[in-house]
């Protein structure tokens, strides 16, 4: 029977382990432990695993700003996670008036402040949806997918 730990250890030793993209000796974009992302891409399972980790990181960052983030309604939490996911912590922190409005539970002002930003112009409909969620604490109705 194949010893998977020994094989994993050997491959890690031979390939190395990198947390960011790099070019392997043959010039292919690679990540992790020799995963040729250029030719092999990522499986749906790996994509979802990365997404779940990124969402958890965004929520963690929001707790840094809003220690009682869990008390915010589900729709608003989802909207703020989406924004943090898109922007990252340093850029999100620049939304000072929006953050102050959220801390005061002034959801109308918070949504308005989000829409006044450069980010809103860059992401278009995404910002409109996020502002709706912040105002109403609910997901925005989306048209049915015809596929």
- For the domain that residue 95 is a member of, what is the CATH number? 1.10.530.40
Split at pLDDT 50, 70, 90, the class of 146 is low
Q: Can you tell me the distance from the alpha carbon of 110 to that of 146, in angstroms, rounded to the nearest whole number? A: 34
Domain count, the chain: 2
Q: Is the pLDDT of residue 111 over 80?
A: yes
Asked if residue 106 and residue 78 are part of one domain, the reply reads yes
Asked if residue 65 and residue 26 are part of one domain, the reply reads no
- pTM confidence score: 0.86
Asked if residue 50 and residue 34 are part of one domain, the reply reads no
In tens, the pLDDT along 36-65 reads 999 999 999 999 999 999 999 999 999 999
Asked if residue 34 and residue 98 are part of one domain, the reply reads no
Asked if residue 121 and residue 72 are part of one domain, the reply reads yes
Q: Can you tell me the distance from the alpha carbon of 147 to that of 144, in angstroms, rounded to the nearest whole number? A: 9
Asked if residue 23 and residue 77 are part of one domain, the reply reads no
CA distances from 5 to 2, 12, 89, 143 (A): 9, 10, 37, 48
């Amino acid at each position: 029977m194949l010893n998977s730990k020994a094989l994993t250890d050997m491959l890690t030793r031979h390939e190395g382990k990198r947390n960011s993209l790099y070019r392997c000796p043959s010039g292919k974009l690679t990540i992790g432990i020799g995963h040729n992302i250029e030719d092999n891409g990522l499986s749906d399972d790996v994509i979802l695993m990365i997404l779940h980790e990124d969402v958890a990181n965004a929520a963690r960052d929001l707790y840094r700003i809003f220690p009682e983030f869990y008390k915010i309604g589900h729709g608003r939490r989802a909207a703020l996670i989406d924004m943090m996911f898109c922007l990252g912590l340093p850029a999100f922190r620049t939304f000072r008036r929006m953050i102050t409005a959220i801390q005061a539970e002034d959801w109308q002002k918070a949504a308005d402040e989000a829409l006044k930003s450069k980010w809103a112009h860059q992401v278009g409909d995404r910002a409109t949806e996020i502002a709706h969620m912040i105002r109403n604490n609910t997901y925005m109705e989306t048209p049915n997918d015809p596929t």
